[in-house]
Amino acid sequence: MIKPAVAVRGLTKVFPIPFRRTRVVAVRGLNLEVAPGQVYGLLGPNGSGKSTTLKIILGLVSPSSGSTEIFGRDSREVGSREAVGFLPENPYFYKYLTGAETLRFYGKLCGLSGVRLKSRTGELLELVGLQNARDRRLGGYSKGMLQRIGLAQALIQEPKLVVLDEPTAGVDPAGSRDIRDLILDLKRRGITVLLSSHLLAQVQEICDRVGILANGVLVREGRVEDLLAIENQTELILQNATPEVLNDIAALLKKSSARLIEQRQPQTTLERLFLEATKAPAER
């Protein structure tokens, strides 16, 4: 049997609130499995426990009960994080380091050195489009640039699992598309991705499987197509259909038990429109 990339079993996390008698249950009895090579999306409203779950998987926060594993190794083992890259939400790095220095530092923590580290640093800066900012200190980076350097840092040792907490928060639509493409590229290379996001359209596009959390409870889970399919409906999209054809179809429908619910012109998405309009002239 193949070991799941991530396994969460009966996970509960309770945060006591000091000096008050209350406590916050951030995650309640969560069970999850992410198969190797999958892109898994964790969805849910603010405060539903997404970040807490991810932090527990990475051993940054300890569970109140239950356990989490990465490729079969308990998250409490430091070694379980060997082949893992993590991008926290709203990441901040050392302001006094430049982009290249930052990647070098994280590379060394993962045991890289010498030529390999140097070439990897260059590659990743290029990949996230920061090669022009490589010698600028992070104190002067914009939010989106920090997000990109964070992504590069997460990929430094070519991990087998990448955990991304809201990877596209604060990134412009073009950058957000770049990150989407990057995740799809990771997937093509067989790397497992576990991400949380509020951008449902994007999640729908890139994730194989999603889980929806509400108040720390997993309320829906499954393959994206299965979750979204409306079983008793079918969509037809026609090109160059003349009014006669449409009339014929309507006549056909009248004879059957099927009912036409809606007939409309498909629209482009706002995202696509935005991307078209803001494309750099050179690219157009």
Ligand X SMILES: Nc1ncnc2c1ncn2[C@@H]1O[C@H](COP(=O)(O)OP(=O)(O)OP(=O)(O)O)[C@@H](O)[C@H]1O
* Binding stretches for ligand X (CB under 6 A): 15, 24, 26, 44, 46-52, 89
| Binding residues with another protein: total (CB under 8 A) | 34
Among 26, 170, 206, CA closest to 87: 170
Paired tokens of 282: 């050179």
Q: In sequence order, what are the residues at sequence separation of 6 or more whose Cβ sits closer than 8 angstroms to the Cβ of residue 116?
A: none
Tokens of 48: 């539903």
CB of 50 to Mg ion, least distance (A): 5
Give the residue from 69, 25, 47, 283 showing the smallest Cα distance to 177.
Answer: 283
26 contact choice in ligand X, Mg ion, another protein, none (CB below 5 to 8 Å, kind-dependent): ligand X
Please tell me the distance from the alpha carbon of residue 210 to that of residue 39, in angstroms, as a whole number: 9
* 147, 91 contact by CB (below 8 A): yes
Q: Which does 29 bind (CB under 5 to 8 A by kind): Mg ion, ligand X, another protein, none?
A: none
Query: Is 111 an interacting residue with respect to another protein (CB under 8 A)?
Result: yes
Out of 86, 167, 197, 213, the residue judged to bind another protein by CB under 8 A: 86
Q: What does the per-residue mask of binding to another protein show for 39-58, with x meaning CB under 8 A?
A: ----------------x--x
The amino acid at residue 137 is R
Comparing every residue's Cβ against Mg ion, the nearest one is: 51
- According to DSSP H, which parts of 98-255 are helical? 99-109, 114-127, 143-154, 173-188, 200-206, 224-228, 243-255
Report the candidate in 191, 197, 145, 194 with the shortest Cα–Cα distance to residue 168.
Answer: 197
Query: Mask: binding to another protein, 216-245, rule CB under 8 A, as x and -?
Result: ------------------------------
Q: Binds 113, which of another protein, ligand X, Mg ion, none (CB < 5 to 8 A, cut-off by type)?
A: another protein
Choice from 14, 60, 127, 217 touching another protein (CB under 8 A) = 60
Q: Which residues make up the interface to another protein (CB under 8 A)?
A: 55, 58-62, 73, 77-79, 81-86, 88, 90-94, 96-97, 105-106, 108-111, 113, 150, 153, 163
Q: Which residues bind Mg ion (CB under 5 A)?
A: 50-51, 89
